Structure 1
Amino acid sequence: MSRTVTAPRRAPVRVHPLRAEALRGFAPWAGLAVLVATAGLLAAGADRWQGGWAETRAELHAVLLVVLPLAAAAGCRQGGRERRRRTEELWGTATRGPLARFLASALPVAAWTTAGYATAAAGALLATWPYARGDGPGPELLPADAVAVAAAAVAGQVVGRLVPRRPAAPLLAACGYAALGLASRADAGAGRALNPALPVPEDLVPVVWQPVAATVWVAGLAAAAVLAYAARRRYTALLPLAAATAAGALLVQGGAGLWHTDPVGERQVCDTSTTPQICVNARYGDLLPQVRNALSGVTGRLEGVRNLPVRFEDRPGAPRPGEAELPLLTPMGRSFVRGGLTDPEQYAWEAVAALQGRGDCGGPSDPRVSRADDAVANLLAPGPAQEHFDALDARGDEAARAGLRERRAARARLASMPADERRAWLTRYFATAGDCDPDGVPAL
């Protein structure tokens, strides 16, 4: 008689609720939404930041104005899920406590939204790396920004539990965006320092403790809200609330001391082989060969000419005595995009205008000075800029056409001078650079 052998039953595999929430449901879609929104905002303004580490850092921080309300709305939608599904009573019979149930639902959304932002940030840093021309990446703000995204998602879930209505999520996003925008205004007072999406200028870097205080501020508020809502002993919310209050007080009292000028931006990288010398900001030190090539026509034609500035400089503020200011490279997106000069001829033309130094005279200039300035600009940096103004005058009235004829005659006289005579004339001309008195300008 045969005997039937029964195989032992396998114990059922239990999937942890946190894992189930993280791999299925709404949380991955929330992360994807944050990734797409962040990447879209960054791509739309890529000309402004792709090519400068400081600009990339500032742009990644600036997109929090949209990302934080979006993360909060995602958490809010997740928080109202049980009411929409009518499963609140079923959840109430679970063996786990309310805090564990809350975290099982909230943490996956917080993790996925943070991952979406972090992935977009990593992509932006990789996109900047091939074009960066000077200073190194500055990740000081990224950890605090990532924590702010997670805190917004968790706090949004608390709101969703308290107000489990479908319009709550979009309304929370709209109110959050408006609140962050208003708190970013210059007239918002000392409370601006508490804004996790406060715009940061490219030339500033935070002091060492500022990101730590900002992290404690946003994380402490979110933790206090969670404990006050879901903890069995709600008074435990006082501990993170006290930490957030202390961090917030440090941020408010810090004021302008929370940031200091980037020391790299105060240094210059110079090429001393030309006259004038050419110096660019150390943040874009690797751009010096491009700038030198763009100005090669100017410096070559000025060889042997005296009374010139010692150097072109590229630093914040007015140029020092004996210096001329280079055309501005920043803000990015105009003359400087993705590590390169967009229009070297226009750049050289603007540099010559800085050499002439008559921008502060104001009012209509003497016709003799205007002709001399135009002839020098045409000699040193001919290009589309002057052609544009010539075309406008050629289509103008009789006075404009007559002025154009006089300017062209002056250009021809300067260009036809023997080299020694032209150098002597330019030496006398540059002795009047920055002088608004027309009497000293040599005639043409």
Structure 2
Amino acid sequence: MIVRVRPRPGRTAPSSDSDFPVPRSAPHPFGVESRRGFAPWAAVGLLLALAWAMAAKADQWQGSWGDATETATSAAAMIGVPFALAAGAWQGGRERRLRMTELRSSSARSRPVQFLVAALPLAGLLALAYLVAVVGVLAACAPYASAGGPAPTAYAGTAVSLAACAVLGHVAGRVVSFRLTAPLLAIGGYVVEGALGTQQSDLSYLAFCLVRVSGDDKIAVWWYPLVAALWAGGLAAAAVVAVAGHRRVAALLPLAAALGAATLLVQTGDGLLRDNPLARRQVCDTSTVPDICVNGTRPGMLPEVKRALSGLTDRLAGVRNLPVRYEDLGRRPRDDEAELPSLAPIGWSVVRGRLTDPSRYAREAAWTLLRPGCDEPPAGPVAVTDEAVLRWLAPDTGSEAARADQVARARKDGDRDRLATYRAEDRAYARLAAMTDGERRSWLGRYFATAGRCAPEPNEVPSL
């Protein structure tokens, strides 16, 4: 007997299996961990901390790729490493706080998979937060940096090391059942990083995330950050295998890789850095007297320096016995050269591609023409003449104000000798300023013929 079931009025019978609703698959735990919970907030917190630390020192790195790299890696070492250790420990102790240990043990996934699903989202997001901060630093540096370029391996290696610190913290959080594990790890990480970072020995290269460079003068060899990342990553991998692996003896393999990387870092030492080839070059403007040369690491500063020294070079036009050029190579100038006042480090005399005090810079440049390399300035009539020449070549409002204060203090103290010296300097300056252009050029030519002597006799220097 065949019984036919008729559908109810208003409904149609399903024609095939495809008409039945298909249940949605559950979201993957990795995606859930990456989008919700603690990991995204930790990444935002790290990003804000790094951004604040690097923005606070923006004057000291905008305009130099080397200084920008040094600032970014230092912030990652002193802020990122303690933060990642603490965040990883907090995340690692979550199962115990929420009493999910038995639920985890009953899961179909293996222990290594469970561990990685819980640890990697935080580690990856913290590394991503660091890279976002680095992109901001590079974007802020690019308009003012005129030579060189960023160091991709330094940023990549630091990001990997930061992720490894988060994994190490996660292991500690799972193993140590103590609520203060996270803050203690943060404090310990900060102390260890600070101790290693200030070491004067080769052990300083073992500090996590700290790629040691020296501004634009020394740059890291390309493989140094990658070996540093292997040092941190190998330790993290060994800890993971030891805690969650099926065969804990396998932890010896990544541990051996980490120790090998550490040995290479320590034994190579300062060999991990090399001289920046740009630092041995100069970019010069030969339209002035003397020529003006700036270091090859900052060629964009040449127009700014020339503008600041324009008054000095105009006053020296037609004067004989001058140096051929202002050099900027970080070495002792030759006999026919004068040393350009230093443009480094960024943040002192130069901020964002501009001289902070052009008048003072010009005065320092004029001073290098007088008795260069002398340990002690001359005294007596020669010192009076030098001061008059300096005041005329590079007038500076700040220096004149300071001199006026010194004169007032000497007058208040009743120091007659100092007052007599100041009056002699004023008379000499007035005579030099009162000369005609031809007379002054001739006199300055005779004066600069003796300007290179540290202790000339008074009768050898033309008087005023």
Give the TM-score of the pair, scaled to structure 1.
0.95
Letter paired with 2:367 = A
Alpha-carbon shift at residue 389 of structure 1 (Å): 2.4
1:170 matched to 2:183: yes
CA–CA distance in 1 between the matches of 2:142 and 2:399? Answer: 36
Equivalent residue number for residue 138 of structure 1 = 151
Q: Confirm whether residue 417 of structure 1 aligns to residue 417 of structure 2.
A: no
Gap runs ≥5 in structure 1: none
What does residue range 349-428 of structure 1 map to in structure 2 within 5 Å? 349-358=363-372, 360-362=374-376, 365-398=378-411, 399=416, 400-428=418-446
AA partner of residue 370 (structure 1): A
Whole-Å Cα distance in 1 between the matches of residues 336 and 236 of structure 2?
56
1:320 aligns to 2:340 (yes or no)? no
Q: How does 1:90-169 map to 2 (within 5 A)?
A: 90-169=103-182
Query: What SS does the aligned partner of 1:283 have?
Result: coil
Superposed, 1:337-352 pairs within 5 Å as: 337-352=351-366
Aligned residues: 442
Indicate the percent of aligned positions where both proteins have the same amino acid. 46
SS in structure 2 at match of 1:279 = strand
Deviation at 1:387, TM superposition (A): 1.3
Q: For residue 341 of structure 1, what is the amino acid of its counterpart? A: L
Match of 1:431 among 416, 435, 449: 449
> Deviation per CA, 1:146-190, whole angstroms, max 9, x where unpaired?
111111111111111112322111111111111111112234x33
Matched residues in 1 for 2:116 and 2:135: separation? 27
Give the TM-score normalised by the residue count of structure 2: 0.91
Q: Hey, what's the Cα distance between the residues in 2 that align with 1:254 and 1:411? A: 57
Classify the secondary structure of the residue corresponding to 2:345: coil
1:204 corresponds in structure 2 to 218
Could you tell me which residue of structure 1 aligns to residue 462 of structure 2? 442
Name which of 37, 52, 55 aligns with 2:49: 37
CA–CA distance in 1 between the matches of 2:235 and 2:246? Answer: 18
Show CA shifts across 1:44-78 (max 9, x none): 10000011111111111111222111111111110
For 2:3, the equivalent position in structure 1 comes to none
1:397-434 Cα distance to aligned partner (Å, 9 max, x none): 23344433322221110011122221122122212224
Superposition pairs of residues 330-341 of structure 1, within 5 angstroms: 330-341=344-355
Deviation at 1:358, TM superposition (A): 4.8
For 2:226 and 2:145, locate their aligned partners in 1 and report how far apart those are by CA, in whole Å.
27
Q: What CA distance in whole angstroms lies between the structure 2 residues aligned with 1:434 and 1:160?
A: 68
Secondary structure at the residue paired with 2:157?
A: helix
Give 1:279's aligned residue. Answer: 293
Q: Does 1:28 align with 2:48?
A: no
Q: Secondary structure at the match of 2:293?
A: strand
RMSD: 1.7
Task: Determine the C-alpha separation between the residues in 2 that align with 1:88 and 1:320.
Answer: 74
1:255 is aligned to 269
Instruction: After TM superposition, give the deviation of residue 359 of structure 1 in Å.
Output: 6.0
Amino acid in structure 1 at the alignment position of 2:395: P
| Segment drifting more, 233-242 vs 170-179 | 233-242
Alpha-carbon contact 1:329-1:336 (below 8 Å) kept: yes
Of the candidates 172, 192, 200, which is equivalent to residue 204 of structure 2?
192
Match for 2:342: what amino acid? L
Structure 1: which 4+ aligned runs deviate by more than 6 Å? none
List per-residue Cα deviations over 1:223-261 (Å, max 9, x = no partner): 111111110111221221122222222212212211111
Deviations 1:8-35 (A, max 9, x none): 2321321111111111000001111110
User: Which residue in 2 is equivalent to 1:238?
Assistant: 252
